[in-house]
Structure 1
Amino acid sequence: MTLSLEQIQTILQQEDLLREFITPETWTLHAPFAQTFEKISYNSREADAATLFFCKGLNFKQSYLEQAISQGLTVYIAEQPYEVEAKLAIIVTDIRKALAVLSMAFFDYPQEKLQLIGITGTKGKTTTAYFLKEILAKATGQKTALLSTLNTTLDGVNYFKSELTTPESLELYEMMATAVSNGMTHLIMEVSSQAYKVERVYGLTFDVGIFLNISPDHIGPIEHPTFEDYFYCKRQLISNAKQVIIYDQLDHFELLQEITDQKNLPLYTYGSSQADYPVQPTGPLSFALNSTQDTLNIDSDYTIRLAGDFNKENAAAAVLAAALTGADLESITQGLAQALVPGRMNLLVKPDGTHIYVDYAHNYLSMESILGFAKKNHPNGKLIVVTGSTGNKAESRRAGIGQAIGEYANIAILTSDDPNFEAPEKIAAEIKAAIKNPTVTVKEEFDRKKAVTEAIALAGPNDAVILAGKGTDAYMTVKGEDLPYEGDFKLAEQLLK
């Protein structure tokens, strides 16, 4: 894997990103000499004479570039020249876009060797991704890679913990190249709004784009300033897909439909009776697809292992995507029936009949869904919720969590959930302030293990306990450190034993 200065010039000019090449002697629009790079990086600690170094990031300092030069670096790429002794500075209009297009070239455009499915939405991305992974694994003989919020697999079998929902562009194309070298034919990706906000997927086209839903989330000073900005970034997936699957009851559906019409993209809808593929629940863990024109040949009865009608809709989205990327009906039905999603509506039952739901619910929409489901299925019992909210990001979620608790719960135990550098007491106070229902008993216990233990002890045969936010996570982020934690599911399982 290499990249020459001549290639860099051509790519940057094609994308209208090149400002100029600067050497100690001249400014020019043409590569002033021949050089080939064997590495690309934005980490100064990795840089050497064979590296093209990207000066990127809000916290970038000239000292990082100076460190790289001291290690032998001669060429850097940036949005501005720096007062350093370098052989060449490549100046671009947008360093993030440049990183994306040069990374795909360096790794020899691996996306063109894969069937690429992108999934976006405020909630349900991971569930849909895992449903689809199980289906395509069966259809392709384990030749399906996955990049999800929870875990990543590049060989279809072995998983490791994901750092970001959508990796930085350099790592993204490196992972794709690894998947290709591992013999993968398909890759499923969750695509975050931030991925479009900061150009991680700039220039990337998906074979299939799935849009599940939209509601306010990730709104705050660190991420999106407004809902409009959040939704604008989300819907870039539609503009960058060859064919599109959309939930027909999604807010602002008409706007997404306008985009598909404008770009002449094939659109497949699922959901209500007016959709191309209506989703008809037929039992607690089953549904049917019955289309008036079954162009994808997927009308059938399906079973899943996750509770909740919203998971049937997520499953339907996965079914459509699988069909569009070559899966046969037998693989679809069998794969879906076997799929499990870590931390998504996992159910445990106490010997006395108490139901314990473990879910990653972390905002209004996901909390409202799981609490509404629990209320419907336990009409004569109490709903006991254990939850918190992550620190130092997405502050707007906290009010939504409190609102959902006020609408459904009887008892809320507010606790820690990756508080990071914020005090969990402060986060809990913001959730509590949004619980407007005075009949809800609100408790605080910031040792999460004690909070889970108390909730399960409080519950009786007709009651439901909802452990929201942590799922199967085996860590708790506190002051920048990932400290060991059993995970809600494992902890509840131990308590039941």
Structure 2
Amino acid sequence: MTYHISLAEIHQLLLENHLLKELIVDKNWYYTYPETLPTKEFTQLSYDSRVADGQTLFFCKGLNFKAEFLAQATTLGVQAYVSEVYYEENTAIAFIVTDIRAAMAILAQHFYQYPQDRLVKIAITGTKGKTTTAYFTHQLLSAALGERVALFSSEETILDGKTRQSSSLSTPEALVLYEQMAKAVENNVTHLVMEVSSQAYKTKRVYGLTFEVGIFLNIGHDHISPIEHPTFEDYLYCKRQLIMHSQQMIVHQDIPYFDLLAQTCQQAQVAMLTFGVKQGDYRITGNSQHSFQLQRQQTSTIESFELALLGTFNFDNATAALLAARSVCPIDTLTAQKALKQTVVPGRMNLFHLPNGAVVLVDYAHNYLSLQAVSQCARQLRPSGQLIIVTGSAGGKALSRRPDIGRALTEFADIAILTADDPNFEEVSDIIAEIKAVMPANQIVYEIEDRHEAITKALSLANSEDVVILAGKGNEQTMKIKGKAVPYQSDIQFVQHWQQKG
């Protein structure tokens, strides 16, 4: 399907949404639309100067945007751009706006014919568990509706209900987000399950979107850095935006700041359904690492569920998914039981047994809350053995995560092995030093920068009763180094190869 937007439509939309500062044509400045402007339509939206032509409306966005990017785009044929900055030397028609990210969202919605209005949308936020909950929700709705459910997650994207492709962000940029929604609608998809990160609200990727159901899983200190959130208050505030942009909320009642979330729901007049182990409209009782019961407090109805995924913390994720899915679609107990038991997530709580009897858990755990959850699961699996944790922290972001990881290792690991985890432009040794700085001197710590060597050390140290946790990378097959995605044998593949060697 071909989509299009005209110069006149761009002007009108920016004007209506109070985003237009001025329209500049041949160095003449306008606020109203000039009648002398020739008719022009665009059939592509882009912020990538390498993907542009004469039919492209170009967006100048990002802290690192440079004038030469626009120059490159105009060389390729671009005739109009949207920007917060006027580039006087450039001859293209300029729409100067107050907020480039809001403008991107507004124009993308119109360009793709408002696909969000033809989708029932479930959004998931939280410090941990977003991807797993998204997979549970997608599986539940697919069981009830068939191949009519799209998925936008940090791991995979599904636009036709069945075909999986790798994702690059938890929540795509606005231009990509609405393009994917439009493709889903073209594929006769009716429902969408998506992760919504704090950065999605911080950078207005979901500007103007209202979700039928929002899920708030948990909150902890994470993503605090100069390029993400300056403070925890800002991080939590951005997370809370989901409440103001949802028609109904599913909220974990046992978590910190629940009262604030409840007050926000009340003030915004958003209906709220709660769950938890200690409190909530629905109460969770764990039977084992794989099975739990869910009791509805109002009627005392009890349902039993079994998961393929390991870990009692996944009971929270499965419950949130079930309540959300049932809010938009009838799902009986038997269908729910089958769907939840069939759900698997690449790189999440993948369990392996070594030839000597030791257990290995591979997981994306990358902050205090997720390391705590995986470690507690490991202790329950092997209470008498040692817990060996291999981890690191990503370079250039979430700087507050590093001392938190050190604190988690101090509390939960018998042996810690610090290594690389997407160091990007930072030195692995510097990141390791920041993690180690909060750990006591008597803690057993190995510093091994090469991740495969670090994993080899951990597997070699493990005895029959021990558990090894490989945290942070999951199923990822690249390592971010100096701005490039370098091919990397995933932690899962490495462990499988180790098993085969015997």
Q: Identify the TM-score tier after normalising by the shorter chain.
A: over 0.9
Equivalent position of 2:22 in the other structure: 20
CA contact 1:298–1:323 (8 Å) conserved in 2: no
Pairing 1:171–2:164 present: no
Could you tell me which amino acid in structure 2 is paired with residue 395 of structure 1? Answer: L
Pairing 1:313–2:344 present: no
CA contact 2:254–2:279 (8 Å) conserved in 1: no
- The Cα of 1:62 is off from its aligned counterpart by 2.1
- The Cα of 1:87 is off from its aligned counterpart by 5.7
Pairing 1:478–2:493 present: no
Deviations 1:148-200 (A, max 9, x none): 11121212222222111111100110011111112222111111111111111
**Helix, strand or coil at the partner of 1:10:** helix
Deviations 1:286-330 (A, max 9, x none): 111111225xx9841111112221111111001111101214123
Change (3 A) 1:298 1:170: farther
Change (3 A) 1:56 1:356: same
Deviations 1:213-266 (A, max 9, x none): 111101011111100111111111111111111100121111111121112111
**Helix, strand or coil at the partner of 2:287:** strand
Identical positions, percent: 48
**Helix, strand or coil at the partner of 1:365:** helix
Pairing 1:347–2:322 present: no
Change (3 A) 1:70 1:286: same
Equivalent position of 1:282 in the other structure: 287
Equivalent position of 2:431 in the other structure: 427
CA distance in 2, matches of 1:289, 1:63: 58
CA distance in 1, matches of 2:73, 2:85: 17
**Helix, strand or coil at the partner of 1:230:** helix
Which residues in structure 2 correspond to 1:289-328 (within 5 Å)? 289-293=294-298, 299-328=302-331
CA contact 2:21–2:98 (8 Å) conserved in 1: yes
- The Cα of 1:275 is off from its aligned counterpart by 0.2
Pairing 1:372–2:376 present: yes
Q: In structure 2, which of residues 83, 96, 100 is the aligned counterpart of residue 95 of structure 1?
A: 100
CA contact 1:152–1:159 (8 Å) conserved in 2: yes
Q: In structure 2, which of residues 443, 448, 467 is the aligned counterpart of residue 445 of structure 1?
A: 448
Could you tell me which amino acid in structure 2 is paired with residue 2 of structure 1? Answer: H
CA contact 1:154–1:175 (8 Å) conserved in 2: yes
- The Cα of 1:341 is off from its aligned counterpart by 1.1
Which residues in structure 2 correspond to 1:190-201 (within 5 Å)? 190-201=195-206
**Helix, strand or coil at the partner of 1:11:** helix
CA distance in 2, matches of 1:435, 1:327: 50
Equivalent position of 2:335 in the other structure: 331
- The Cα of 1:203 is off from its aligned counterpart by 0.4
Equivalent position of 1:151 in the other structure: 156
CA distance in 2, matches of 1:137, 1:196: 28
The two structures, once aligned, show a CA RMSD in angstroms of 1.8
Pairing 1:222–2:224 present: no
CA contact 2:389–2:413 (8 Å) conserved in 1: yes
Change (3 A) 1:115 1:422: same
Equivalent position of 1:11 in the other structure: 13
Equivalent position of 2:466 in the other structure: 463
Pairing 1:35–2:44 present: no
CA distance in 1, matches of 2:289, 2:372: 18
- The Cα of 1:439 is off from its aligned counterpart by 4.3
- The Cα of 1:413 is off from its aligned counterpart by 1.3
CA distance in 2, matches of 1:45, 1:488: 34
CA distance in 2, matches of 1:325, 1:298: 20
Deviations 1:401-425 (A, max 9, x none): 1111111211111111111221111
Equivalent position of 2:112 in the other structure: 107
CA contact 1:21–1:31 (8 Å) conserved in 2: no
CA distance in 1, matches of 2:449, 2:67: 41
**Helix, strand or coil at the partner of 2:274:** strand
Range that drifts further, 358-367 or 446-455: 446-455
Equivalent position of 1:55 in the other structure: 60
Equivalent position of 1:413 in the other structure: 417
Deviations 1:420-464 (A, max 9, x none): 22111111111111222x443111222222221221221112211
CA distance in 2, matches of 1:309, 1:62: 52
TM-score, with normalisation over the residues of structure 2? 0.94
Could you tell me which amino acid in structure 2 is paired with residue 14 of structure 1? Answer: E
Equivalent position of 1:120 in the other structure: 125
Task: Flag structure 1 segments of 5+ consecutive residues without an equivalent.
Answer: none
Pairing 1:64–2:69 present: yes
- The Cα of 1:55 is off from its aligned counterpart by 1.8
Change (3 A) 1:85 1:470: closer
CA distance in 2, matches of 1:282, 1:203: 42
Deviations 1:116-170 (A, max 9, x none): 1111111110111111122122112122111111121212222222111111100
Q: In structure 2, which of residues 257, 262, 265 is the aligned counterpart of residue 257 of structure 1?
A: 262
Change (3 A) 1:37 1:311: same
Equivalent position of 1:185 in the other structure: 190
CA distance in 2, matches of 1:335, 1:327: 14
**Helix, strand or coil at the partner of 1:290:** strand
CA contact 1:6–1:31 (8 Å) conserved in 2: no
CA contact 2:42–2:56 (8 Å) conserved in 1: yes
Range that drifts further, 314-323 or 182-191: 182-191
CA contact 1:137–1:156 (8 Å) conserved in 2: yes
Q: In structure 2, which of residues 143, 150, 171 is the aligned counterpart of residue 138 of structure 1?
A: 143
CA contact 2:284–2:295 (8 Å) conserved in 1: yes
Pairing 1:232–2:237 present: yes
Change (3 A) 1:196 1:406: same
Pairing 1:80–2:82 present: no
Pairing 1:398–2:402 present: yes
CA distance in 2, matches of 1:15, 1:57: 21
TM-score, with normalisation over the residues of structure 1? 0.95
Task: Flag structure 2 segments of 5+ consecutive residues without an equivalent.
Answer: none
CA distance in 2, matches of 1:309, 1:318: 15
CA contact 1:135–1:327 (8 Å) conserved in 2: no
- The Cα of 1:31 is off from its aligned counterpart by 5.4
CA contact 1:66–1:84 (8 Å) conserved in 2: no
Could you tell me which amino acid in structure 1 is paired with residue 347 of structure 2? Answer: G
